[in-house]
Amino acid sequence: MNNSKNILVTGGAGYIGSHTVVDLIQNGFNPIIVDDFRNAQKSSVAGIEEIIGKSIEVREVDVCDRVALKKVFEEFSFSGIIHFAAYKAVGESVESPLSYYRNNIVGLINVLELSIEFNVSNFVFSSSCTVYGEPTDSKVVTENTPIQPANSPYGNTKRIGEEIIEDVIASGVNMKILCLRYFNPVGAHASSLIGELPIGKPNNLLPVVTQCAIGKIPSITVNGNDYDTIDGTCVRDYIHVLDLANAHVKGVEWLAQQENPIVENVNIGTGKGTSVLEVIETFEEISGLKLNWKFGERRAGDVVEIFADVTKSFNLLNWKSNLSARDAIIDSWNWELKLKND
């Protein structure tokens, strides 16, 4: 096996990680997954293997366990790292801030330290549009839009993560790092063999919609209908997980071409906003089902409207999204139906 193609994918059994692993393999890379399955099921690895038609290397390791993680670096020689492993639920982070700081920050520090020790210079960090908070001047954010104080411990871990990375690069180490600021990942693989597996109550809109339609949850409350948006409901930039996965492949390829230490923050979105109501209506049209939903009060801390300026992702990485929110809704619904049949 050509070691220059070995990519460590922490959190590779998770939602975005599993789709990225598939795309990496389809583009000639050899991903090695490190995941302790705290928020994933073994079936996601089986799903990846069924899609690609071969088995993949998985090490069941907690990235916060530096000793165990080091053994993986000793076992494989990596040309790049994609660091997904982290917690991601805003509400949960408010209730358990320390577990969020421990997992998201200690995990990142361990992976960075071992990258430096083992001379792995190409690194992709999962960041989030949450670092922008509620944009003040324009709803379209560029990478130069000022970062706002985080409105949750989760958001703060992404902001601190980016700052740690800036400091590491400023220290003069030989690393090249991309902080990809994801907008709202949605959808599933078209095969329905992998997708989002929310453990417990889902937080994101689309799993709530599909779980309501399938009967797992009784109803949907749309928080706020009097915002200054197209229809009064919140607007997000929904990025299909397959497009998002491909941004990582383009990112790893771009990093391999860079000769000098560098850090770049890059928005990964579609550049198009879709409202909560539009998602619900599109879902009802696609599925032919009537959802049990109602308007509720505004929810404190909700960002009203945000979408990505995608100029940099195209100019720098030669990446742009191809799939629409509608495509994602179709794939998410097929995935939910598949879960039910299983």
Residue with tokens 């660091």: 83
Is residue 124 a contact point for ligand NAD (CB under 6 A)? no
Query: How many CA atoms lie less than 13 Å away from 317 in the CB half-sphere?
Result: 28
- A 10 A CB-CB count for 309 gives 16
Site for ligand NAD in 45-74 (CB under 6 A): 62-64
Cα separation, 82 vs 124, whole angstroms: 5
Site for ligand NAD in 159-188 (CB under 6 A): 182, 185
160 vs 284, beta carbon nearer ligand NAD: 160
Q: Which of 8, 9, 16, 247 binds ligand NAD (CB under 6 A)?
A: 16
Cα separation, 64 vs 107, whole angstroms: 5
Rg of the chain over Cα atoms, rounded to whole angstroms, equals 19
Is residue 13 a contact point for ligand NAD (CB under 6 A)? yes
Are 165 and 115 within 8 A, CB to CB?
Answer: no
Residue with tokens 């497009």: 243
88 vs 312, beta carbon nearer ligand NAD: 88
Is residue 84 a contact point for ligand NAD (CB under 6 A)? yes
Are 217 and 211 within 8 A, CB to CB?
Answer: yes
Query: How many CA atoms lie less than 13 Å away from 144 in the CB half-sphere?
Result: 2
Q: Which of 7, 45, 58, 85 binds ligand NAD (CB under 6 A)?
A: 85
CB of 293 to ligand NAD, least distance (A): 21
37 vs 118, beta carbon nearer ligand NAD: 37
Q: What are phi and psi of 294, to 5 degrees?
A: -150, 160
46 vs 289, beta carbon nearer ligand NAD: 46
Helix then strand then coil, % of the chain, to nearest 5: 45, 20, 40
Cα separation, 128 vs 69, whole angstroms: 25
Is residue 312 a contact point for ligand NAD (CB under 6 A)? no
Q: Which of 30, 79, 93, 103 binds ligand NAD (CB under 6 A)?
A: 103
Residue 5 CB contacts under 8 Å (≥ 6 apart), including other chains? 28, 29, 30, 79
Q: Which of 154, 182, 227, 238 is catalytic?
A: 154
Alpha helices in 35-130 (DSSP H): 42-52, 66-75, 90-95, 97-101, 107-117
Q: State the residue number with the nearest CB to ligand NAD.
A: 14
Q: Of all helices (H) and strands (E), which one includes residue 295?
A: strand 293-296
25 vs 129, beta carbon nearer ligand NAD: 129
CB of 260 to ligand NAD, least distance (A): 27
68 vs 295, beta carbon nearer ligand NAD: 68
**DSSP code per residue over 169-188:** HHTT-S-EEEEEEE-EEE--
Q: Is 154 part of the annotated catalytic residue set?
A: yes
Site for ligand NAD in 253-272 (CB under 6 A): none
CB of 263 to ligand NAD, least distance (A): 17
Q: Which of 7, 8, 11, 115 binds ligand NAD (CB under 6 A)?
A: 11
Are 37 and 60 within 8 A, CB to CB?
Answer: yes
Sign of CA dihedral 250, 317, 188, 324: negative
Q: Which of 80, 107, 135, 153 binds ligand NAD (CB under 6 A)?
A: 107
Q: Which of 7, 76, 78, 88 binds ligand NAD (CB under 6 A)?
A: 88
Stretch that binds ligand NAD, among 31-39, 51-59, 144-152, 162-170 (CB under 6 A): 31-39
Q: Which of 6, 121, 126, 275 binds ligand NAD (CB under 6 A)?
A: 126
CB of 292 to ligand NAD, least distance (A): 24
Contact positions vs ligand NAD (CB under 6 A): 11, 13-17, 35-40, 62-64, 84-86, 88, 103, 107, 126, 128, 182, 185, 204
Question: Active-site positions?
Answer: 154
